[in-house]
Chain A
Amino acid sequence: MALQILLVDDSPMIHNLLRKVLVKNGHEICGDAKNGKEGVEMYKSLQPDLIFMDISMPIMSGLEAAAAIKKLNPDSKIIMLSAMGDEAVLTEARVIGINLFLKKPFDEYKIISAISSVA
């Protein structure tokens, strides 16, 4: 099933890679946000089926943004993508209710498997 997906990451390289993998697999990128604040605003207006969210971003972090989105809609689907994946970060992500946590780098198989497990 084709999903409307919102990308929230401050890295143009990550946007580029995710866009290629997701479009190739039949999904649609409905929004590109460069920080957590933009991500929350875009979530409100676009109501995507799924969000890919980085953690370390300027203005508002991915964990703060994810918490805000989960408050707006506890059923929202968020896959966290981050370079950091230590126990403290994973615990914080679990408390917020992140649906899945992926450590960078990623490949097509990892991304598509992640979508299948949460969508």
Chain B
Amino acid sequence: MRQEMIAPFLQSTQNMIEQMSGITVTADGGFYEEQSELVSLGLATLVSFAGKVKGRLLIDMEPSLAVAFAKAVNDENYTSDREFMVLMSAGELNNIVAGDANTLINNQFQLDLRLAPPVIISGVGSIIRIPKISSMSANLMTLQGKLKVNIAFEGSL
């Protein structure tokens, strides 16, 4: 997968979390190829996009981070990552990250990528397997918990 197609997603994840919540995000190493199914850290969101190519972005985070992010963004108190606004805030984060990264990619490569609504999956240890498509992951750290960005494009981009 071409670096210039995946790097914007990592950069946007860091930028958008920091802009929206003030939570500092640091990269824990670079991208690596996922060799097996993903085991969720707690709250995973998936946004698919399609245009001249197809792809999807998965952002997976620990429950503590999901709650801290929603609290900071909405200025409201939450106790569980399964609360409605925590789930919705994680979904909106993925939508905003995917939109930001795809804006850069569309302007650079004219791929006309458009987003589908986010899918939100809650549960530590949930198995996420998306066959027939290879993907790249990067791990990120915050003081409030870990997260993973996983990006895939169909074909040999």
Q: Taking the nearest CB of chain A, how far is it from the CB of B100, in angstroms?
A: 7
CA distance A47 to B102 in the complex (A): 34
Residues of B contacting A56 in the complex (Cβ-Cβ under 8 angstroms): 95, 114-115, 117
Chain A residues in contact with chain B, CB under 8 A?
10-14, 16-17, 20, 56, 58, 82-88, 103-105
Closest to A58 in B: B117
Residues of A contacting B20 in the complex (Cβ-Cβ under 8 angstroms): 105
Beyond A84-B103, A85-B103, A105-B20, whether A10 also contacts B117 by CB under 8 A is yes
On whether the beta carbons of B85 and A12 are closer than 8 Å, the reply is yes
Q: What's the tally of chain B residues with a CB closer than 8 Å to chain A?
A: 25
Chain B residues in contact with chain A, CB under 8 A?
16, 19-20, 73-75, 84-85, 88-89, 91-92, 95-96, 98-100, 102-103, 106-107, 112, 114-115, 117
Q: Taking the nearest CB of chain B, how far is it from the CB of A96, in angstroms?
A: 17
Q: Taking the nearest CB of chain B, how far is it from the CB of A107, in angstroms?
A: 8
Residues of A contacting B107 in the complex (Cβ-Cβ under 8 angstroms): 86-87
Residues of B contacting A85 in the complex (Cβ-Cβ under 8 angstroms): 99, 103
CA distance A93 to B99 in the complex (A): 16
Partner of A84, one of B19, B85, B92, B114: B114
Beyond A87-B107, A88-B106, whether A17 also contacts B99 by CB under 8 A is no
